[in-house]
Structure formats: structure tokens, C-alpha cells
Amino acid sequence: MKIARSKTELRTALEAARRDGKTIGLVPTMGYLHDGHLSLLHAARARCDLVVMSLFVNPAQFAPSEDLASYPRDEVRDLELAERAGVDVVFAPPVDTVYPEGFATAVEVGGGLTDVLDGASGQRGAAHFRGVTTVVAKLFNSVGPDVAYFGQKDAQQAIVIRRMVRDLDFPVEIEVLPTVREPDGLAISSRNAYLDPGDRQRAAGLSRALRAAEAVAASGEDRIEPALEAARAELERAGIEAEYLEARDPESLAEVETLNGRPVLIAVAARVGAARLIDNTLIGDSA
């Protein structure tokens, strides 16, 4: 496994594969790898000739009040796990390589996708997604992948990146894989490391709330509100106050009130102890 710290080292590591027309897969990460990341790496390994993993905690997607300084990091462990998963190249640049002095360009997706849910005022804000799309666009340009892998846990992020790829004609396929969960249903996240044992137990209430919403939808109820009510009741039982719990169209992120035989994204965010956690489910008939 090769480790590239600069764009020149990255280009050199990819040169032969690109020349030979091999399929390149990219898994962007901020490190502190867990089973969710590993599922993406294994999928890339199964499909692609060469697998690139980026390892970069992107400061542009953190607000001043967020946890950039305390975000969990363990590069030695990450590199070991990446090599075990069959990664060929790890791109782990320093911040000034990604954002050199005088950097003044951003990629921003509009269309109502970045000012709702996590992008809403009072949540992480649209600037969060501007930081995400800017760094992902740079990764796409630097790596030139055929396929890039993301997790469904960050559903809004995946929707935004799909739109960026479509609108800017990036020649890359976006593969979104299912959320990986703990046995009790908690979505696996690097931020779970912030949870003390009591909060860790409470945090499982997020996935139970989503399952409660799914159960209402599966009962034949066409209206969204009863499903959201069931989810709210489950959150209340767990002692969790949601920052948001909303039903949205899984492509446009417009608010929806009924299923009508179409898929609906139910997304939730909440602070549990020291961790801000997000989760989601896609309900309804997608046929």
C-alpha cells in the first residue's frame, strides 16, 4: 500500500493504473475508521482494479463552534485497517496541500439541497455542505475515480454530491451503500466515541425511532405525520430531544406529507451527551 502526502505523489501512484485503463475506486474518509468505512472499502475492492482512500479531516466543513480540534484521529490504526482492507493508495495530505495560501474557490450546491436538515440555519448550516462539496470536488479532480463510495448514514451529503456530479459533469459514478449498525441498531459513526456508557445506551433510541416510523408506514398508513409521531414518542422514551425529525423527498429534499407509493427519507439529528448524531431511513414503495 502506498501513502501519498502530496498531489505529485498521488499522481505518480495512479499513473500506471490510469495509463492501463484500470478502474479506480475512491473512498473519501476523515479517518478514525470503523465498520461503516470498511464496508465501503470492501465494496470498492470487490469492484475496482485500484482502490484509493483519502484520509483528511476537512476543516472547511466544521463551523467555529464544532469539534474540529477534538475530532477523533488515529492515523496509524487507520493505515493498518486500510491495508488489511486491500487499499492500494492512501491519500493523506496536510491541510496546506488541500487549501494552500490564498485558496479562494468554493463549490456550492443550491436547489434547496443545502439549506434544510443539517444545512438549515441553526443546524450545521449551508457552509458545512460548501466545505464538503469543495473538498470532494478537489478529490475527484486529483484522483479521477471511476466510482466513488459513500454511506447512506450521511444521506443528505450523498444527495448533495450526486447533484454536484450531475450538474458539473464529473465523470464518476456515485455508489451509496447501506448504513452499518451496531447490534442494537445504533448507526456506526466516528462520533460515537464521544458517548459515555449511559449516553451510548440512550443513543440507540434514534434507530428505534426510525423503526417505529417504518412500522407505521408498513401498516398501510399513507400520511407521514403518524409515522413522525411514532418516532417522536420513541425519542421521548429514550430521553432524546431531536434537533430535527423530518420527512423529505430523497432527491429534491422537499418536504412531503404523504407516501403515495413513493420513497420518503425520514431524517433525524440529536445531541446525545457530548455527541451530535444523525440517522435516517428510506420508507415507502420505491417500485
**Annotated active-site positions, please?**
37
Q: How far apart are CA 106 and CA 138, in angstroms?
A: 10
Residue 48 CA, chain-centre distance (Å), reads: 21
The amino acid present at 148, given as its one-letter code, is A
For every residue of the chain, DSSP letters joined together read: -EEE-SHHHHHHHHHHHHHTT--EEEEEE-SS--HHHHHHHHHHHHH-SEEEEEE---GGGS-TTSSTTTS---HHHHHHHHHHTT-SEEE---HHHHS-TT--------TTSSSSGGGSTTTT-HHHHHHHHHHHHHHHHHH--SEEEEEGGGHHHHHHHHHHHHHHT---EEEEEPPPB-TTSPBP-GGGGG--HHHHHHHTHHHHHHHHHHHHHHTT--BHHHHHHHHHHHHHHTT--EEEEEEE-TTT--B-SB-TTS-EEEEEEEEETTEEEEEEEEES---
Contact call for residues 37 and 29 (beta carbons, < 8 A): yes
Q: How far apart are CA 221 and CA 231, in angstroms?
A: 14
Q: How far is CA 262 from CA 8, 172, 183, in A?
A: 46, 27, 29
The amino acid present at 215, given as its one-letter code, is A
